[in-house]
Amino acid sequence: MDSSNSPSTKPLYRGTQIVWYILGLVEILLAFRFVLKLLAANPYAGFTSFIYSVTYIFSAPFLTVFHMTQVAGSIFEWTTLLAMFVYLIVAYGIIKLLLISKTVSTPEAAAKLKNQEK
């Protein structure tokens, strides 16, 4: 049986697409946060306030990891960069975990195991 025609291939593909989409959305929002802080955007402006409130949940676990570098009102938020990196690693791990469930044929599995032995 060709593993690319397995009934689990399409849902698996959709699952990986969803993970990458969510990661992309979170990364874009965090990038906006980083740039707005760096450029000392008015925190009371509607867009800025919206971005800060939406991204707070994603950046909150990292806010006390590093000190913020502040120069003349501009904030280089190291914690946002850390959050972006951690979420990328987590998404990559989820994708790898999903791919473990992929159906493989016996010859394909044997070839992959042989390559791992090298």
Query: What's the whole-model pTM score?
Result: 0.80
Q: Assess if residue 80 is contained within a domain.
A: yes
| d(C-alpha 66, C-alpha 75), whole Å | 12
Q: Assess if residue 1 is contained within a domain.
A: no
Contact indicator for 17, 91 with CB cutoff of 8 Å:
no
Contact indicator for 51, 33 with CB cutoff of 8 Å:
yes
- At 4 the pLDDT is 58
Q: What is the mean pLDDT of residues 87-109?
A: 88
Q: Assess if residue 62 is contained within a domain.
A: yes
Q: Assess if residue 53 is contained within a domain.
A: yes
Q: Assess if residue 37 is contained within a domain.
A: yes
Residue-number span of the structural domain to which 75 is assigned: 7-117
83, two tokens: 């959050």
Q: Assess if residue 2 is contained within a domain.
A: no
- At 7 the pLDDT is 64
Q: What is the mean pLDDT of residues 41-67?
A: 95
Contact indicator for 55, 30 with CB cutoff of 8 Å:
yes
Q: Assess if residue 85 is contained within a domain.
A: yes
Structurally, the chain folds into a number of domains equal to: 1
Burial class (CB in 10 A: 0-12, 13-18, 19+), 36: buried
Q: Assess if residue 77 is contained within a domain.
A: yes
Average pLDDT value over all residues in the chain = 89
| d(C-alpha 57, C-alpha 67), whole Å | 18
β-partners of residue 8 are none
**pLDDT band at residue 6 using 50, 70 and 90 as cut-offs:** low
Percentage of the residues of the chain whose pLDDT score is greater than 70: 93
Contact indicator for 55, 87 with CB cutoff of 8 Å:
no
